[in-house]
Amino acid sequence: MNTRLTGFLIFLLPALALGLTSDRDKPLNIEADQVIIDDKKGTMVYTGKARFTQGSIVVTADQVQIYSEDRRFTRAVAIGKPATFQQKLDDGKVVKARANRMEYRVKDERLVLTENAEVWQDKNHIRSDKIVYRLDSQVIDAKGKSDGGRVKITIQPDTFQESPE
């Protein structure tokens, strides 16, 4: 993999975890047509135009499932045609993602986008059937379909302007 491509990938997806610093301190607002909360199972299922916002983060989906153990958030799954994610970064840029299924796993610190997964930052774009971002190591693993589908990346030339030393 060439240095430019590696540099692009290193900076593209960390944005999903490193958006506006102030987002973490904002309240989480949730809207949906219906919610089913099961305290015994530790689940909350939001259906019908589910929309989650926290600061600059906006997630939309047909259904969002939240899982917890001992009242601690463990996993979230957003399902849609497509489910979408958007977040503003500290530098003012916006990262957008969409997939038919998005799963965030707290313990593994992984964001998994599957089925028509796409991520944009500015004009740069990555598309694949599955994109896994490991937040702890900032490693991206994008895979095409087993039937010959391929990972597709578009990197704009202005992304790689040399910085003055």
Residue 116 belongs to a domain with what CATH number? 2.60.450.10
Query: Is 106 inside a domain boundary?
Result: yes
pLDDT, one tens digit per residue, over 102-140 is 998 878 878 899 999 998 877 788 899 998 877 666 667
Query: Is 164 inside a domain boundary?
Result: no
Query: Is 17 inside a domain boundary?
Result: yes
Q: Is the pLDDT of residue 9 over 50?
A: no
Q: 156-162 long-range contacts, Cβ below 8 Å, gap at least 24?
A: 156/122, 156/123, 156/124, 158/123, 159/4, 159/8, 159/122, 159/123, 159/124, 160/4, 160/7, 160/8
Query: Is 39 inside a domain boundary?
Result: yes
Q: How many domains does the chain have?
A: 1
Q: What is the pTM of this model?
A: 0.75
Three-state SS at 135: coil
Query: Is 103 inside a domain boundary?
Result: yes
Do 23 and 16 touch, CB atoms closer than 8 A? no
- Structural domain that includes position 23: 3-159
Query: Is 92 inside a domain boundary?
Result: yes
- Give the per-residue pLDDT at 73: 79
pLDDT, one tens digit per residue, over 67-107 is 888 878 788 899 999 999 888 877 787 888 899 999 988 78
The dihedrals phi and psi of 153, each to the nearest 5 degrees, come to -130, 135
Query: Is 107 inside a domain boundary?
Result: yes
